[in-house]
Amino acid sequence: MTDIADRYRRLAATLTRRIESVPDDRWESPSPCEGWTTRDVVAHLVDWHHGVAKLGELTLPQGPSAADDPVAAWRHTRDAMQELLDDPERANTPYEGMFGPTTVAATADQFLGFDLVVHGWDIARGAGLDDTIPAEDVEELLPMVRALGDNLRRPGVCGPEVPVPDDADDQTKLLGLLGRRR
Protein backbone atom coordinates (compact mmCIF):
# COMPACT_ATOMS: atom_id res chain seq x y z
CA MET A 1 0.00 0.00 0.00
CA THR A 2 2.84 2.36 0.76
CA ASP A 3 4.01 2.22 -2.86
CA ILE A 4 0.59 3.29 -4.15
CA ALA A 5 0.21 6.06 -1.56
CA ASP A 6 3.75 7.27 -2.23
CA ARG A 7 3.30 7.20 -6.01
CA TYR A 8 0.05 9.15 -5.68
CA ARG A 9 1.81 11.67 -3.42
CA ARG A 10 4.59 12.15 -6.00
CA LEU A 11 2.25 12.45 -9.01
CA ALA A 12 -0.15 14.73 -7.14
CA ALA A 13 2.73 17.02 -6.12
CA THR A 14 3.68 17.51 -9.77
CA LEU A 15 0.08 18.22 -10.71
CA THR A 16 -0.34 20.58 -7.76
CA ARG A 17 2.65 22.64 -8.90
CA ARG A 18 1.07 22.95 -12.34
CA ILE A 19 -2.36 23.89 -11.01
CA GLU A 20 -0.89 26.45 -8.59
CA SER A 21 1.04 28.00 -11.51
CA VAL A 22 -1.99 28.65 -13.74
CA PRO A 23 -2.34 32.41 -14.17
CA ASP A 24 -5.75 33.77 -13.16
CA ASP A 25 -6.49 34.82 -16.73
CA ARG A 26 -5.81 31.33 -18.16
CA TRP A 27 -8.45 29.24 -16.35
CA GLU A 28 -10.89 29.69 -19.22
CA SER A 29 -8.29 28.93 -21.89
CA PRO A 30 -9.04 25.91 -24.08
CA SER A 31 -7.23 22.75 -23.02
CA PRO A 32 -6.14 19.96 -25.38
CA CYS A 33 -9.26 18.08 -24.19
CA GLU A 34 -11.82 18.98 -26.82
CA GLY A 35 -14.49 21.30 -25.46
CA TRP A 36 -12.83 21.67 -22.04
CA THR A 37 -11.15 24.69 -20.52
CA THR A 38 -8.22 24.42 -18.16
CA ARG A 39 -10.71 24.85 -15.29
CA ASP A 40 -12.86 22.03 -16.71
CA VAL A 41 -9.87 19.67 -16.59
CA VAL A 42 -9.44 20.39 -12.87
CA ALA A 43 -13.18 19.86 -12.32
CA HIS A 44 -12.91 16.50 -14.10
CA LEU A 45 -10.00 15.46 -11.87
CA VAL A 46 -11.93 16.43 -8.74
CA ASP A 47 -15.04 14.56 -9.92
CA TRP A 48 -13.05 11.46 -10.94
CA HIS A 49 -11.36 11.29 -7.54
CA HIS A 50 -14.79 11.21 -5.92
CA GLY A 51 -15.86 8.60 -8.48
CA VAL A 52 -12.94 6.31 -7.66
CA ALA A 53 -13.77 6.42 -3.95
CA LYS A 54 -17.43 5.73 -4.76
CA LEU A 55 -16.48 2.54 -6.62
CA GLY A 56 -15.72 1.03 -3.21
CA GLU A 57 -18.78 2.70 -1.68
CA LEU A 58 -16.49 5.21 0.03
CA THR A 59 -16.78 8.96 -0.01
CA LEU A 60 -14.39 11.86 -0.06
CA PRO A 61 -15.54 14.95 1.84
CA GLN A 62 -16.98 17.68 -0.33
CA GLY A 63 -14.80 20.74 -0.66
CA PRO A 64 -14.61 23.91 -2.69
CA SER A 65 -15.93 23.85 -6.23
CA ALA A 66 -13.51 23.94 -9.16
CA ALA A 67 -15.91 26.42 -10.75
CA ASP A 68 -15.28 28.84 -7.89
CA ASP A 69 -11.69 28.06 -6.91
CA PRO A 70 -9.90 25.36 -8.92
CA VAL A 71 -6.73 25.51 -6.80
CA ALA A 72 -8.58 25.07 -3.50
CA ALA A 73 -10.82 22.37 -5.03
CA TRP A 74 -7.79 20.42 -6.21
CA ARG A 75 -5.87 20.76 -2.92
CA HIS A 76 -8.88 19.60 -0.91
CA THR A 77 -9.51 16.62 -3.18
CA ARG A 78 -5.83 15.67 -3.32
CA ASP A 79 -5.57 15.72 0.47
CA ALA A 80 -8.75 13.65 0.87
CA MET A 81 -7.54 11.00 -1.59
CA GLN A 82 -4.10 10.92 0.02
CA GLU A 83 -5.74 10.34 3.40
CA LEU A 84 -7.76 7.48 1.92
CA LEU A 85 -4.69 5.89 0.30
CA ASP A 86 -2.68 6.26 3.51
CA ASP A 87 -5.34 4.19 5.34
CA PRO A 88 -4.82 0.54 4.29
CA GLU A 89 -8.27 -0.52 5.48
CA ARG A 90 -10.07 2.03 3.30
CA ALA A 91 -7.61 1.85 0.41
CA ASN A 92 -7.95 -1.94 0.16
CA THR A 93 -11.73 -1.77 -0.08
CA PRO A 94 -12.63 -4.35 -2.75
CA TYR A 95 -15.17 -3.97 -5.53
CA GLU A 96 -16.02 -5.68 -8.80
CA GLY A 97 -14.29 -3.68 -11.53
CA MET A 98 -14.59 -3.71 -15.30
CA PHE A 99 -11.75 -6.23 -15.50
CA GLY A 100 -12.74 -8.27 -12.42
CA PRO A 101 -12.20 -7.97 -8.67
CA THR A 102 -9.98 -5.06 -7.63
CA THR A 103 -9.54 -2.45 -4.91
CA VAL A 104 -9.96 1.29 -4.63
CA ALA A 105 -6.18 1.63 -4.22
CA ALA A 106 -5.44 -0.36 -7.38
CA THR A 107 -7.88 1.76 -9.36
CA ALA A 108 -6.46 4.95 -7.91
CA ASP A 109 -2.96 3.78 -8.79
CA GLN A 110 -3.72 2.86 -12.36
CA PHE A 111 -6.44 5.26 -13.47
CA LEU A 112 -5.96 8.28 -11.24
CA GLY A 113 -2.20 7.98 -11.72
CA PHE A 114 -2.76 8.06 -15.48
CA ASP A 115 -5.02 11.10 -15.21
CA LEU A 116 -2.68 13.01 -12.89
CA VAL A 117 0.07 12.82 -15.48
CA VAL A 118 -1.95 13.25 -18.68
CA HIS A 119 -4.28 15.94 -17.41
CA GLY A 120 -1.33 17.68 -15.78
CA TRP A 121 0.05 18.02 -19.30
CA ASP A 122 -3.35 19.23 -20.53
CA ILE A 123 -3.50 21.88 -17.80
CA ALA A 124 0.05 23.05 -18.48
CA ARG A 125 -0.60 23.18 -22.22
CA GLY A 126 -3.89 25.06 -21.83
CA ALA A 127 -2.35 27.55 -19.40
CA GLY A 128 0.78 28.11 -21.48
CA LEU A 129 3.11 26.60 -18.86
CA ASP A 130 6.08 24.26 -19.24
CA ASP A 131 4.39 21.03 -20.29
CA THR A 132 7.34 18.69 -19.88
CA ILE A 133 6.25 15.43 -18.28
CA PRO A 134 8.85 14.04 -15.86
CA ALA A 135 10.81 11.29 -17.63
CA GLU A 136 9.98 8.79 -14.87
CA ASP A 137 6.26 9.36 -15.46
CA VAL A 138 6.60 8.95 -19.22
CA GLU A 139 8.59 5.75 -18.68
CA GLU A 140 5.85 4.35 -16.42
CA LEU A 141 2.92 5.35 -18.63
CA LEU A 142 4.17 4.56 -22.13
CA PRO A 143 3.99 0.74 -21.81
CA MET A 144 0.54 0.94 -20.20
CA VAL A 145 -0.78 3.24 -22.92
CA ARG A 146 0.62 0.97 -25.61
CA ALA A 147 -1.04 -2.04 -23.94
CA LEU A 148 -4.40 -0.26 -23.78
CA GLY A 149 -4.42 0.12 -27.56
CA ASP A 150 -7.88 0.79 -28.96
CA ASN A 151 -9.41 0.90 -25.48
CA LEU A 152 -8.10 4.48 -25.43
CA ARG A 153 -10.31 5.34 -28.40
CA ARG A 154 -13.55 4.79 -26.51
CA PRO A 155 -15.83 7.84 -26.37
CA GLY A 156 -14.71 10.35 -23.77
CA VAL A 157 -11.25 8.84 -23.28
CA CYS A 158 -8.76 9.89 -25.99
CA GLY A 159 -9.02 11.03 -29.55
CA PRO A 160 -7.47 9.37 -32.59
CA GLU A 161 -3.77 8.60 -32.42
CA VAL A 162 -1.58 11.40 -33.74
CA PRO A 163 1.26 10.09 -35.92
CA VAL A 164 4.74 11.03 -34.72
CA PRO A 165 8.16 10.43 -36.28
CA ASP A 166 9.87 7.13 -35.42
CA ASP A 167 12.73 9.05 -33.83
CA ALA A 168 10.45 11.20 -31.63
CA ASP A 169 11.24 11.39 -27.93
CA ASP A 170 9.16 9.24 -25.57
CA GLN A 171 6.97 12.11 -24.36
CA THR A 172 6.00 12.94 -27.96
CA LYS A 173 5.27 9.24 -28.60
CA LEU A 174 3.13 9.06 -25.47
CA LEU A 175 1.20 12.18 -26.39
CA GLY A 176 0.66 10.91 -29.94
CA LEU A 177 -0.80 7.66 -28.62
CA LEU A 178 -3.10 9.74 -26.45
CA GLY A 179 -4.30 11.79 -29.40
CA ARG A 180 -2.42 14.90 -28.34
CA ARG A 181 -0.03 17.08 -30.30
CA ARG A 182 3.13 18.40 -28.70
Percent over 70 (pLDDT), the chain: 99
pTM for this entry: 0.95
Q: Is residue 152 part of a domain?
A: yes
Coil, helix or strand at residue 169: coil
18 and 107 co-located in one domain: yes
Q: Is residue 46 part of a domain?
A: yes
CATH code, domain with 27: 1.20.120.450
Segment 26-80, tens digit of pLDDT: 999 999 998 999 999 999 999 999 999 999 999 999 999 999 999 999 999 999 9
Which string of DSSP letters, residue by residue, matches 130-168? --PPPHHHHHHHHHHHHHHGGGGGSTTT--SPPP--TT-
